[in-house]
Amino acid sequence: MGNLNGKVALVTGGSRGMGAAIARRLATEGANVALTYARSPEKAESVVADIAKAGQRGLAIQADNRNAAAIEAAVAGTVKEFGRLDILVNNAGIFSMAPIEDVTLEAYDEMMAVNTRAVFVAIRAAAPHLPEGGRIISIGSNLAERVPSAGMSLYAASKAALIGLTKGVARDLGARRITVNLVQPGSTDTDMNPAHSDHADAQRDRMAIASYGTPQDIAGLVAWLASEEARFVTGTTLLMDSGANA
């Protein structure tokens, strides 16, 4: 514990699921943590309370990833509250499925706004504040590299774009020793994809080890990437999918 003592992190979409687990884990490692939420202030404040129990300061900021100005304000608010920003975790995202002929332009714009544009906006806003050795970690999906069934083309595209963005930003910020990485989870037990849904067994059938991940699994990798131990890792994607893409 204490790998992140004195650090400040911002986690987008931090009120539930993987985002909440990440926020809590970073706090147990010693970081003060701001988190954004779109519609659940009670859940966000519950995470802030857990951060306080870990001995750290927390801050919940209402910011819908569809709104670029709100994301920029969340970054500014984090810096104002804590005086610095060391770690940006781009976690907020949405998921939907439809055959390509049924995907509307409105659905395309929303998916790209939340899953792709918002990550760019947050990185652009955070970059001037990050110190040498800062960290940017985004949460993608293993579907960015392998789409095993129909109906996921739009979601896969929105997450695949993060691969190129991660590699490019790693080059842009490398001179400042800021690392930029992408975590690509597979099936993870959250309310978006519960381990006991009607579709869960089909997902397990694709895995080398037939077991869903947990939000805490993802949080552990994020915490490591945020630490000094990961200083030599940048511009890369890290799969956590129980071998589904093997």
Please list the active-site residues.
155
3-state SS track over the chain: CCCCCCCEEEECCCCCHHHHHHHHHHHHCCCEEEEEECCCHHHHHHHHHHHHHCCCCEEEEECCCCCHHHHHHHHHHHHHHHCCCCEEEECCCCCCCCCHHHCCHHHHHHHHHHHHHHHHHHHHHHCCCCCCCCEEEEECCHHHCCCCCCCCHHHHHHHHHHHHHHHHHHHHHHHHCCEEEEEEECCECECCECCCCCCHHHHHHCCCCCCCECHHHHHHHHHHHHCHHHCCCCCEEEEECCCCCC
